[in-house]
Chains A and B, each alone.
Chain A
Amino acid sequence: MSHSTAPRSDTGAAKEPETTPVVSGDTTGGTGGGRRSTAGPPEGSRLRLRLRWRRDRALLLMSVPAVALILVFNYLPILGNVVAFEDYDPYISDNGVVSILNSSWIGLEHFEQLFGDPAFWHAVQNTLILFLLQLLLYFPVPIALALLINSVVRPRVRAVSQAILYLPHFFSWVLVIAVFQQLLGGAGLLSQLLRQHGFDGIDLMTDPETFKYLVTAQSVWKDAGWGIIVFLAALASVDQELYEAAAMDGAGRWRRMWHVTLPALRPVIALLLVLRVGDALTVGFEQILLQRDAVGPEASEVLDTFVWWYGVRNQDFGYAAAAGLVKGVVSIGLVLAANKVAHLMGEQGVYRK
């Protein structure tokens, strides 16, 4: 390694305060050129590049494996979306690329078919209903729990309850649904207790009527506890003197929460709302797929499972990819729109302007 030969003059720049909000990284952190005043003659941008290459090549080399994996598994498949415009025949070859190249082009036929397919619109409807239910019934729970935990002053009670509340986040969906099955299923605890007291057993796991609430309840059970961690961090960073000053001015417990605590949470809530709205069409793929057979597609089909059903089960890759592509494009639009709204409301959003 040749750092000794390359003059280093960026130690000052490295001390630049660089904040990293949830996903925005430092896309706006000023780290461009122009600081290397000692690095070379003013016209020598190529020389500067060479010096920087010599200095940073080890760092670049370190990034290569991760970047390569991301390029192969996140960017390369984008090209595969051409099957949405093809009459894709998976049996041409064992190799998907060969099949893609040899399938016939049919243009927008899949999309025309898709937009006239009631099953597709039904999946859209289920997706949106689930999204709204989760927004109403799931989203506020972590905020309330965080306020509750934050008001607990005994350190041990805090630590133990946090440990318990975080736990289900680390369970797999398979396990969570298995647990719910043992509680609410036809042979589950609830049915067992009802039968022992002379009632009919009920099976909430296969009931299409209540399925959307069941899914929301599972999400709350699994992830609401984990969700408090972000809010707790925001609460911990509130200047305690604000509370003291408010108390001096005669603000009681609730007024302090309203005027000090909630404003402190506002940016975090806005950020999470933007993320959630941007991701509105993704409402728990694995979770719903696992229960699709038990409940039936009428109540449980969402966009992701629609794609899975047509593509993976029925091997109709072109049609499924068309549905997936519609979802992907709309989702990107939603992210941009949600972020725009956040900016208009004076919040930072996911990325900055």
Chain B
Amino acid sequence: MTTELAEAPARQRWWAAPPRPVWEEPPGRAGLAGKGLVLTFACLAILFPLWIVVVTSLSSRKTIDEAGGLVMVPQDITFVAYRELLSGGQVSRAAVVSVLVTLVGTLFSMAVSVLCAYGLSRSGSLGHRWILMTLMATMFFSAGLIPSYLLVQSLGLMDTYLSLILPSAVSVFNILVLRGFFMGISQELVDSARIDGAGEFRILWQIVLPLSRAVVAVITLFYAVGYWSAWFNASLYLNDQDKMPLQNVMIQLVQKQQAPVGLGQAIKTGELSGLAVQMAVMVLALLPVAVLSPFVQKHFRKGMLTGAVKG
């Protein structure tokens, strides 16, 4: 089993295993091979489909026709599908909608959640147990789809972008994770700032947040991914097709096999491959997530688990 041993000396090759404790028997060759095989298979099961999607999106119509559909080996790379999609029109608009909803929604969610998490992070503060219980109870029930729909409708949020943000703006789980992290911050530090006359907002902004970069990065990613991936609320609350975010447009293009508005002609006449266009939309949807999440990955354990499953 692994241990957090000291890092291998610099002159050692990077693939060399760190030394094992003396009592641990060295791994057998068959065991190593078996583990490597399973791990490689698991990783390929994830990467191979993505590879095909990316390569096909970059292939010309000719390559795709020759391959009989999906392309596994890149031949002549072309960005024509992306150029067509991003030069205005349905997909460009949907992408802009998704980006804006994600940015505004994430900012709003983070502001609300960080404030609430900090407000509840002082043990013994007035009413914080009641508030916590009120929040946590929502993790065990849901009011139901129909009443939620009727509520959004009664609030006059139908066909507005607020309907994509407000109903799912607060995640109690995220607040609890933030709160757990804030509570781990040295109380002496906070108290000394208070004695120096700093108000709560200032303590949060100047002391607590700078110490919580890891958890803030993780929770920001969670919220952003949530907004970016959401499609159900849009399908429920938006009637105007022009307002639809990227995910909803992707459903139409890939699942219902429709051509994007305005590109149907180019696909019919053979300049553009419908398949490449589908794949390009999928790449647009996965790119931000695939690029950002590995950067936040190193914080996952530190940021999330200290807050979520301590002890």
Contacts and interface: CB of A to CB of B under 8 A. Distances in A.
B297 A163 contact: yes
A94 to B, nearest CB: 8
Which are the 7 A-B pairs with shortest beta-carbon distances? A80-B147, A172-B229, A62-B119, A66-B116, A77-B143, A96-B150, A324-B144
Interface string B94-138: 000000000000000001110110111011111111011111101
Given A96-B154, A170-B221, A243-B1, 14 more contacts: A14-B122, A20-B176, A21-B309, A22-B309, A25-B133, A52-B125, A52-B126, A62-B200, A63-B131, A164-B46, A174-B285, A324-B144, A325-B144, A332-B140
B285 A10 contact: no
Interface stretch (A111-119, A176-184, A208-216): A176-184
Contact of A73 (B53, B133, B167): B167
Nearest to B7: A155
A73 B18 CA distance: 51
B232 A289 contact: yes
A283 interface: no
B7 to A, nearest CB: 8
Interface residues of A, number: 139
B217 interface: no
Interface in A3-43: 3-4, 8, 10-11, 13-16, 18-27, 29, 31-32, 35
A175 B50 CA distance: 10
B145 A312 contact: yes
B121 to A, nearest CB: 8
Interface in B46-63: 46-47, 49-50, 52-53, 56
Nearest to A21: B309
A67 B169 CA distance: 11
A177 B118 CA distance: 38
A229 B307 CA distance: 13
A20 B215 CA distance: 15
B209 interface: no
A291 to B, nearest CB: 8
Given A59-B122, A62-B116, A328 B49 contact: no
A321 B42 CA distance: 41
A247 B127 contact: no
A145 interface: yes
Contacts of A221: 45-46
Nearest to B191: A11
B254 A70 contact: no
Contacts of A298: none
15 contacts: A10-B124, A26-B129, A31-B128, A58-B200, A70-B138, A73-B151, A81-B146, A99-B150, A152-B2, A175-B282, A178-B254, A225-B46, A311-B149, A317-B150, A327-B144
A221 B47 CA distance: 11
A13 B123 contact: yes
A265 to B, nearest CB: 12
A148 B38 CA distance: 9
Contact of B115 (A63, A173, A325): A63
Contacts of B173: 23
B166 A179 contact: no
Contacts of B180: 20
B68 A27 contact: no
Contact of A304 (B2, B145, B300): B145
Contacts of A95: 153-154, 156
Nearest to A59: B119
A279 B275 CA distance: 38
Interface stretch (B85-93, B260-268, B287-295): B287-295
A175 B113 CA distance: 28
Among the interface residues A76, A77, A150, A179, which one has the most CB atoms of the partner chain B within 10 A? A77
Contacts of B194: 3, 8
Given A23-B176, A26-B132, A328 B118 contact: no
Contacts of A317: 146, 150
B170 interface: yes
Among the interface residues B4, B24, B144, B149, which one has the most CB atoms of the partner chain A within 10 A? B144
Interface in A65-101: 65-67, 69-81, 83, 94-97, 99-100
B213 interface: no
Contact of B146 (A83, A189, A229, A331): A83
Contacts of A290: 251, 255
B205 to A, nearest CB: 12
B17 interface: yes
Contacts of A182: 49, 52-53, 56, 70, 254, 278-279, 282
Contacts of B83: none
A308 interface: yes
B46 A165 contact: yes
Contact of A1 (B23, B128, B154, B199): B199
Nearest to B173: A23
Given A20-B179, A70-B170, A290-B251, A76 B282 contact: no
Nearest to A35: B124
B183 interface: yes
B292 to A, nearest CB: 8
Contacts of B53: 179, 182
Interface in A290-311: 290, 293-294, 304, 307-308, 311
Contact of A178 (B43, B69, B282): B282
Contacts of B25: 252-253
Contacts of A248: 23
A56 interface: yes
Contacts of B285: 171-172, 174-175
Contact of B147 (A66, A154, A171, A321): A321
B236 interface: yes
